[in-house]
Structure 1
Amino acid sequence: MASYVHIPALELQGFVTRIFLAAGCTEAEAGRISHHLVGANLAGHDSHGVVRVPRYVEWHRAGHIVGGRKAEVVTDGGGFLLLDGGYGWGQVVAEQATRLAIARARQLGACVMGLRNSAHLGRVGDYAEMAAAEGLISIHFVNVGGSVLVAPFGGAERRFSTAPFSVGVPLPGGPVVLDFATSLVAEGKVLVASNGGKALPEGALVSPDGTLSADPRTLYGDYAPVGPRNPENGLGAIRAFGEHKGSGLAFMCELLAGCLTGSPTSGPVEARGRVVNGMLSIHLSPKHFGDEAAFHAAAQSYVDWVKTCRPVHPDEPVLAPGEMESRRRAERLVSGVPLPEEAWANIRATAAALGVEAP
């Protein structure tokens, strides 16, 4: 069993902010990145949380992430926007692009926004929650250029990125937010498992000979207990979720978030190292569709009815998408953010190398 430490959320966020300041980020960048990463941990998406701090610092040091960038408008068609992130911090440029799309959708009723050439933009559900907080429905397709990690259905070689997908719907009882990677597990979950965290499900990975595996070394190759994890050192792949269905959705994420926006696809890859996100987002205003109150009433009634379904296990009620994240957020704000000791050691080592004292 993995051993965990629990860090108060605000203390952890301050620590992570200091790390990124020491790495050369502006105060605005460091604050936004740390807020997003700790927010992912609070929601229970540990794969997209602070476990990524050492990797982000490494990417920034190598020049794969460029500080000080803003999302630049390439094409502005009113209800259609294409922006370029210039390889800037993903949490920063994706927020800027999303805020602009939200403003347009509130004004016009709908906005289709494409973002290309963003560094890793983190938990996609964060952008769906941002839109929902403004009363907007949103749909997000994301791909990861230069990150070939996932085998297509029936394959034993990497062809897809983890290609996340998210949908957010604002309702009076709280937003319904669907957010998942189209791989059976996110690469960050393999990273968490390799750092002594929650073990992977059996068969989450596939070796080049077609053997199914749950060993992170299938993806990363051999690694030390404390130190970087690089999927380029491994030969295996993550499997797509849902057999042909997840594989097909991943395919579409690459075509829409990558090819359509002009962002790189997962492959063919000539020069690996820089991870580039593309995102195609659709924002819709229920007000412009007609009777917003009627929509809210009908949708909330449907959500409530679905949740009355008799559960298979009496102590595990049926939940709507996003409810588990809300529950974990409430719990972890009280108990602290749980981190595997190996992951915490990696973060502390990164901080020490930058002269930042750990709490």
Structure 2
Amino acid sequence: MQKTIPAQELRAQCARIFVATGSSAEEAEKVAANLVMANLSGHDSHGVGMLPRYVDAVLEGGLTPNAKVKTVLDAGALLSLNGQHGYGQVVGEQAMALGMARAKEQGSCILALAESHHLGRIGHFAEMAVAQGLVSLHFVNVMTRAVVAPWGGTDGRFGTNPCCIGVPLKGQPPFVLDFATSRVAQGKMRVAHNQGKSVQPGLLIDEHGQPTTNPGVVVVPQANGFFGALMPFGEHKGYGMAVACELLGGALTGGGTWHKQAPVGRAVYNSMLTILIDPAKLGTQEALETEAPAFAEWLRQSPPADGVQAVQIAGEPERRARVERERDGIEIDASTWEEIVGAAAKVGLSLTN
């Protein structure tokens, strides 16, 4: 049975757990707000269902509360930073603040952030940038268990490796494209598994490399102790994008790439290459302010196909979901809530079921 919890209440409950896990009140509130915003945006895969894993990662020593981003190299428009295994929602914002200030000064900034704990919804960082009038591109790799198969392969060899692009649109909400390079996010399979649902064909292969609709194959070990894998989106093209995210987000940042045994802990590490551009310094702001909204409007004028209410651009579904879920509350399935209650108990707190 699902629970429906108001966003404000859910933020407060999550923040209590993070404080009990060792975070400062400020950090706890920031991480809790970020997770709940993912739920509000319709991305439950990156929402409060991640909290039990975060608590386990702290208790195991793989996630460090109250860590600060460390500057490894400052070369003007080039910044190399290390997240020191801190909460990605915190060190990611710290990194973006440094990068955005530098882009405003110099016109652009290439920002390498290595060894952050789970950054959460990457669209959050693009939203930070577009709010400052900046264009942003983000390439991220994921170092936990390898859950995505290479195109033509039969087992997991890398992570869901998200890519994100944000572009401000004058007079309109921004374009924010944020997607996993797997056909579906790993967290969505966790949600489906917890809800006892099958998923559509074509998303997964089982531990034998055969197609399956059972999301559990990538959530819990199967009878032989192995896992299945997600498939890359877009066949060989999506696979190529996933490899690009691994090379840019992992190798170029110094955070590392997949070519080893999976770690046994619950920590999720991300590294991210971010490119920030100030259109004003580039001398093309007037063109961007004219052309980008005009193109978005041109797209929306396309007659919708059968069963489609209207043509949308990236970012619109999330903004609509926020309004609805802020009003109606956030639904949490019974299994996920039980995991959250269990995580709270591990740090001495009692939540009602």
Q: Shorter-chain TM-score: what band?
A: over 0.9
Which residue number corresponds to residue 253 of structure 1?
245
Which residue number corresponds to residue 64 of structure 1?
62
How high is the sequence identity, in percent, across the aligned residues?
Answer: 43
Which residue number corresponds to residue 215 of structure 2?
216
Q: Partners of 2:162 and 2:2 in 1: how far apart? A: 27
Q: Find the partner of 1:305 among 277, 298, 301.
A: 298
Contact 1:146 1:269 in 2 (8 A): no
Which residue number corresponds to residue 20 of structure 1?
18
2:156 is paired with a residue of what secondary structure? coil
Q: Find the partner of 1:281 among 270, 274, 281.
A: 274
Structure 2 counterparts to residues 160-199 of structure 1, below 5 A: 160-171=158-169, 172-196=171-195, 199=198
Contact 1:147 1:266 in 2 (8 A): no
Contact 1:152 1:247 in 2 (8 A): yes
Q: Partners of 2:121 and 2:102 in 1: how far apart? A: 23
Q: Partners of 2:273 and 2:125 in 1: how far apart? A: 12
Q: Partners of 2:347 and 2:182 in 1: how far apart? A: 34
> What amino acid sits opposite 1:200 in the alignment?
V
Q: Partners of 1:208 and 1:291 in 2: how far apart? A: 51
Unaligned stretches of 5+ in structure 1?
Answer: 224-231
Q: Partners of 1:209 and 1:348 in 2: how far apart? A: 34
TM superposition shift of 1:15: 0.5
Which residue number corresponds to residue 50 of structure 1?
48
- Structure 1 stretch displaced more, 100-109 or 194-203: 194-203
Matched, 1:91 2:84: no
With the length of structure 2 as denominator, give the TM-score of the two structures: 0.94
CA 1:333–1:207: 2 relative to 1, 3 Å = same
Which residue number corresponds to residue 320 of structure 1?
313
Contact 1:54 1:350 in 2 (8 A): yes
Which residue number corresponds to residue 201 of structure 1?
200
Contact 1:264 1:276 in 2 (8 A): no
Q: Partners of 1:260 and 1:77 in 2: how far apart? A: 16
> What amino acid sits opposite 1:202 in the alignment?
P
> What amino acid sits opposite 2:33 in the alignment?
H
Q: Partners of 2:30 and 2:79 in 1: how far apart? A: 23
TM superposition shift of 1:197: 6.8
Q: What is the RMSD of the two structures over their aligned residues, measured on CA atoms?
A: 1.8
1:122 is paired with a residue of what secondary structure? coil
Q: Find the partner of 2:73 among 62, 75, 99.
A: 75
CA 1:162–1:314: 2 relative to 1, 3 Å = closer
> What amino acid sits opposite 1:325 in the alignment?
E
Structure 2 counterparts to residues 138-177 of structure 1, below 5 A: 138-171=136-169, 172-177=171-176
TM superposition shift of 1:183: 0.6
Contact 1:41 1:49 in 2 (8 A): yes
2:323 is paired with a residue of what secondary structure? helix
Q: Partners of 2:105 and 2:153 in 1: how far apart? A: 45
Which residue number corresponds to residue 286 of structure 2?
293
- Structure 1 stretch displaced more, 178-187 or 139-148: 139-148
Q: Partners of 2:48 and 2:320 in 1: how far apart? A: 20
Contact 1:143 1:266 in 2 (8 A): no
CA 1:74–1:161: 2 relative to 1, 3 Å = same
CA 1:286–1:335: 2 relative to 1, 3 Å = same
Q: Find the partner of 1:244 among 230, 236, 251.
A: 236
CA 1:222–1:78: 2 relative to 1, 3 Å = closer
TM superposition shift of 1:315: 4.6
- Structure 1 stretch displaced more, 142-151 or 206-215: 206-215
Which residue number corresponds to residue 120 of structure 1?
118
TM superposition shift of 1:68: 2.2
Structure 2 counterparts to residues 101-120 of structure 1, below 5 A: 101-120=99-118
Contact 1:146 1:265 in 2 (8 A): no
TM superposition shift of 1:354: 2.7
2:137 is paired with a residue of what secondary structure? strand
Q: Find the partner of 2:261 among 264, 269, 272.
A: 269
Q: Partners of 1:191 and 1:19 in 2: how far apart? A: 21
1:310 is paired with a residue of what secondary structure? coil
> What amino acid sits opposite 1:4 in the alignment?
Q
Q: Partners of 1:198 and 1:98 in 2: how far apart? A: 37
Contact 1:167 1:179 in 2 (8 A): yes
Which residue number corresponds to residue 331 of structure 1?
324
Contact 1:79 1:104 in 2 (8 A): yes
- CA shift digits 1:222-255 (9 cap, x unpaired): 69xxxxxxxx954211111111111110001111
With the length of structure 1 as denominator, give the TM-score of the two structures: 0.93
- CA shift digits 1:144-169 (9 cap, x unpaired): 12431100111101111100110001
CA 1:352–1:327: 2 relative to 1, 3 Å = same
